[in-house]
C-alpha cells in the first residue's frame, strides 16, 4: 500500500511540474537527491565498518564475554529457557550492547547469529520431543529477542551523531545527555 502511495505522490508531483513548466527543477532535485543518498551511504558505510570492527575487537579481546557475564541476570530474566552457556546468549548480549551504544547496523550481524542459534536450540528441543512449535514458527525466545531488539535503548546514538556530522551540524554530539550544571 505504501509503495502505491509513494508512486502516486511522485506521479502527481511530476505531472504537476510538467503542467507548470518546472520539469528542470524536478530533474535537478532528483539528481541532487541521488548524489546526497550516495554520499550519505558511503559515510554511514564507514561508520558501520568502524563500529563493527570495534565490536569484533571487543569480542576477540573477551570484553563482550565479560559484559555478557555482567548481563547474566537480565538475560536469565528475559530468556529463562535458554541453557546457561548457550552461544545464543553471547550473540544476544552482543546485539544488546551494540544497540545500547546506538550501533543498530553493527548489531545486525549479532542479531542474525542469535536468531540462528535460537533456531538451532528449537531444533534440538524438537528432536528431543520437548517442543510442540512447528517448524518455521518463532518460539518464545525468538519473539522476546525480536521485541528487545526492536525497542532498543540507546544511550549513545552513534548513527544520529554521524548523520548530524554529515549534514554540517556545529555540535553533532549535542543530542547526547549532558551533566547538569548549577546555575550561578
Rounded to whole angstroms, the Cα distance separating 170 from 120 reads 48
Q: Does residue 43 fall inside a structural domain? A: yes
pLDDT given at position 183: 52
Residue 11 included in any domain: yes
Is 3 a domain residue?
Answer: yes
pTM value is 0.67
Q: Based on the structure, what is the number of domains in the chain?
A: 1
The low-confidence residues of the chain, meaning pLDDT below 70, are: 177-184
59 within domain boundaries = no
Q: What is the pLDDT of residue 66?
A: 86
Taking the C-alpha atoms of residue 17 and residue 12, their distance in angstroms, rounded to an integer, is 9
Q: Are 41 and 28 in contact (CB under 8 A)?
A: no
Structural domain of 29: 1-50
Does any domain span residue 178? no
CA distance 79 to 143: 10
**Does any domain span residue 38?**
yes
Residue 178: predicted pLDDT: 60
Between helices 87-100 and 140-150, what is the axis angle to 10°?
A: 20
The C-alpha atoms of residue 152 and residue 155 are separated, in whole angstroms, by 10
pLDDT value, residue 121: 93
Task: Give ∠ CA 60-82-113 in degrees, rounded to 5.
Answer: 45
Amino acid at each position: 500500500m505504501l509503495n502505491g502511495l509513494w508512486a502516486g505522490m511522485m506521479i502527481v508531483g511530476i505531472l504537476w511540474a510538467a503542467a507548470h513548466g518546472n520539469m528542470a527543477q524536478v530533474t535537478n532535485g532528483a539528481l541532487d537527491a541521488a548524489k546526497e543518498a550516495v554520499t550519505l551511504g558511503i559515510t554511514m558505510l564507514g561508520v558501520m565498518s568502524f563500529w563493527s570492527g570495534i565490536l569484533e575487537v571487543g569480542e576477540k579481546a573477551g570484553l563482550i564475554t565479560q559484559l555478557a557475564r555482567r548481563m547474566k541476570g537480565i538475560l536469565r530474566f528475559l530468556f529463562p529457557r535458554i541453557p546457561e552457556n548457550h552461544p545464543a546468549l553471547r550473540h544476544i548480549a552482543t546485539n544488546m550492547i551494540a544497540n545500547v551504544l546506538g550501533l543498530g547496523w553493527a548489531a545486525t550481524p549479532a542479531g542474525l547469529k542469535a536468531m540462528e542459534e535460537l533456531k538451532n536450540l528449537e531444533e534440538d528441543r524438537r528432536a528431543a520431543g520437548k517442543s510442540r512449535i512447528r517448524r518455521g514458527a518463532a518460539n518464545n525466545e525468538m519473539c522476546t529477542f525480536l521485541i528487545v531488539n526492536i525497542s532498543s535503548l540507546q544511550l549513545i546514538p552513534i548513527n544520529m551523531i554521524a548523520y548530524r556530522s554529515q549534514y554540517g551540524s556545529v555540535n553533532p554530539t549535542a543530542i547526547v545527555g549532558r551533566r547538569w550544571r548549577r546555575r550561578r
